[in-house]
Amino acid sequence: MLKPVPFYFLRHGETDWNRRSIIQGQTDTPLNDTGLSQAKYIAAHVAVLPLTTICSSSLSRAQATAAIVNQSRGLPVISLPELMECHLGEIQGQPSNGAWRGEWIAGGPMPGGETYAAFCARVVRGFAAALLHPGPVLIVGHGGNFWGLETHGLIAPGTRVPNCALFRFDPPSDSPFWTVTLLAAAPGESLAIGEAPAP
C-alpha cells in the first residue's frame, strides 16, 4: 500500500484554534506566534535529516511549517491536497469536545464534510503519492493523518502527535505495523489533536 522505504513526518505548528481546542478541519487557519517559534525550533532537527523531497498538505498551516523548515535546505516542496486535514463540514469552528468524533468514526455522516472512511482512504493515497517522489521524503501534515494510517492497519493506534512533532517511519519488519519513532518535539506545552487546554 505504501512504498516500503523510510520517511519522515512533521505535524504543522500551533494555530490559535489548536490552542483554544476548536475544530479546524479544512478551515485554513494560520500559524500563531507559538507555531512560528515551534517551526523555527524544529527546523534545526530537520536540517540534519537526509532528505530529498518535502511533501506538504496544501493548507497554509502545513505550507508555512514546511517553508520554515526548508529555509536552510532549499528542497523541492510538493503540495498534495490528499494530505489535508479531514473536512468536518458544519462543525468546523466549534469546540472539539463532544460526541461527534465517536459517531463519525463509527460511520455516521458529517453534514457538509467527508465521511471518516473517505478521509482515511484519502490520507493513505496522499502518503502513497508522497513516497513516489525522490526520497527520503518529509511529509508535513496534520494530526488527523495518523487516523488514516491507523485505520488502514499501517501503524499501531495511540501515537500522540503534538504540534510540530517530528517522526521517522520505518517499514514493517517483524510486525505488520510501520515503526513510528518520535525524533523531536518543540519545547513547552503542545496539544495533540483532540486534547483540551489546561483549565
Residues labelled catalytic: 12, 85
Mean pLDDT of 30-36: 97
All domains of the chain in start order, with CATH: 7-163 (3.40.50.1240)
% residues pLDDT > 90 (the chain): 85
Strand order across the 77-79 sheet: 77-79, 53-56, 137-141, 7-11, 166-170, 179-184
91 phi/psi in degrees, rounded to 5: -90, -5
pLDDT score recorded for residue 84: 98
pLDDT score recorded for residue 81: 98
Residue 46 CB contacts under 8 Å (≥ 6 apart), including other chains: 8, 10, 69, 70, 73, 138, 166
pTM across the whole model: 0.95
CA–CA distance, 171 with 20 (Å, rounded to integer) = 35
Is a pLDDT exceeding 80 seen at residue 89? yes
What mean pLDDT, rounded, does the chain reach? Answer: 94
